[in-house]
Amino acid sequence: MQLEKAKKRIAKQVKKGFHGYPLVSLEYFGKGDVGKAPDTATEVVISFTEEEGADPQKQAFVSSGDAREDETIQSTLLKIIERADAKTVTEIDGVSNLPS
């Protein structure tokens, strides 16, 4: 699947807003200077929550470049969203610093 197509399909799911569970959440992480947000996302964590109050299942994907521009990772995220039959998809804006 093409990178832009996968990114657009994920963005479309995110724009729909909250429609209940199951819920999938995406958060991008990278290394940055203290107090400054990273420019490159080297890791993405996808969380799946089946129902309200349930503990989320998490899976991380790591890229040598920017995970937001990695066709394999973006296609995989989209397939996970589709196979989970997620009613809600959220995405944390920007890139968070990797935990120490």
For 3, counting Cβ atoms within 10 Å of its Cβ (0-12 exposed, 13-18 middle, 19+ buried), the class is middle
pLDDT digits (tens, 9 = 90+) for 23-82: 999 999 998 776 676 889 999 999 999 999 999 999 999 999 999 999 999 999 999 999
Q: Beta-strand (E) ranges in 1-100? A: 23-30, 43-49, 57-62, 88-97
Query: What pTM was estimated for this model as a whole?
Result: 0.89
CATH code (residue 72): 3.10.20
Could you tell me the two tokens for 74? 């973006």
Residue at 69 is within a domain: yes
Instruction: Please tell me the total count of domains within the chain.
Output: 1
Residue 46, in any domain of the structure: yes
Give the DSSP H or E segment for 29.
strand 23-30
User: Using the 8-state DSSP alphabet, how is residue 54 labeled?
Assistant: P
Q: H or E segment at 43?
A: strand 43-49
